[in-house]
Amino acid sequence: MDLDAFFASCEQLGHPEYAGRPVIVGAFPGRRGVVAAASYAARKFGIRSAMPISEAQRRCPDAIYLRPDMEKYRRLSRQVFAILATLTPVVEAASIDEAYLDLTGLEKLLGAPEIIGLEIKRRILAETGLTASVGIGPNRLIAKLGSEYRKPDGLTLVRPEQVLDFLAPMPVSNLRGLGRQTGKIFDRLGIRTIAQLRNWPLAALEQHLGKKAAASFHRQAFGLASDQVIPERGRKSISKETTFEMDVLDHRVLQDALRHLAADVARTARREGLAGTVVTLKIRFEGFETYTRQHKRPGPTQDEREIMKTAWQLFQETNLPAKPVRLIGVGISGWEQDQPAQADLFAQPEQQQSSQRLLQTIDRVTERFGKGKLQLGAPRKKP
């Protein structure tokens, strides 16, 4: 199940006047940033996710440009996943707007697979106003490609005996894990479609792609993939980033931006009951020159002060170029199951409890009044 142009569709729900118009979620024209989502009317102009806003504006200056409202998108996503959970107990979230469902054994209860697919689409539309595209197949790869096949508002059923014919005319770019460099190799070899890829022996592909990549694409070309749906897979990381209007060299500005991002990351982690041991810093300079740095902490945390401290140490101590910064981001990962966030070994129990109450208070204020109303300060050294 894949929601159609999710961010843009969420915005159109609250603004009927946006219906049928090009809607682009990301940044405002004249500012830095990229397209996060585009309505199907905007896609007719060649606008796609991750395209610079400046290019989107050049292609479609009359589009409606909006900043993302993640709280709204998460709320609608939760509604959709609650609907899916009433139809099958085996649902795996692939992202905020996409899920794999296992329909095995549900025919006697709900009907044939295509009937279940139609019911999924009907209920999502009736209860949220959103449209979804559904792909049904014998494994994850075919189901995913099926969901993309007739977007938007599509339904595609691919039976096991139809898999090879379904895949044959597709461009190899539809396959999972095919990046720019692999695409160049396929172009050089004259491999444009999955049918053409199928004609290459595995040994010959290995000479050009290496054993691991060759095996992956060879299997996909024959429609072979996992059929497991794992409900508890969960998210692998939490990250936030911001792009500056102008490149920034002032460390005080960078530090303030990082502090806000760390607070967002920590708040999300606390809301989802997660604590991470790995802090990641992301820095981008002019020309999309991008660096990431990571540090594994001695114990898990969901405290913005600890995330900020680690991220800033990464910024200062990992030999990053001394150039103006275009984008800065921070994230946490490396969840440790059944282990609480690490407390300060030298703090008294009452201090630890007070700190936890403080964070909980900030979360409640933020939830009620919005971000930026209350946050933790930090002493700043005199220049």
Q: What amino acid positions are annotated as catalytic residues?
A: 98
In angstroms, the CA 13 to CA 75 distance is: 13
Residue 316 token pair: 């200062």
Sole residue written with tokens 């939490």: 238
Is residue 299 within 8 A of residue 342, CB to CB? The reply is yes
Sole residue written with tokens 């999955």: 194
* 121: Cβ contacts below 8 Å, ≥ 6 apart: 131, 132, 134, 153, 155
In angstroms, the CA 354 to CA 361 distance is: 10
In angstroms, the CA 151 to CA 82 distance is: 23
* 351: Cβ contacts below 8 Å, ≥ 6 apart: 344
Sole residue written with tokens 């118009």: 21
Neighbours of 158 (CB within 10 A): 21
Instruction: Give the residue among 221, 215, 162 at the shortest CA–CA distance from 192.
Output: 221
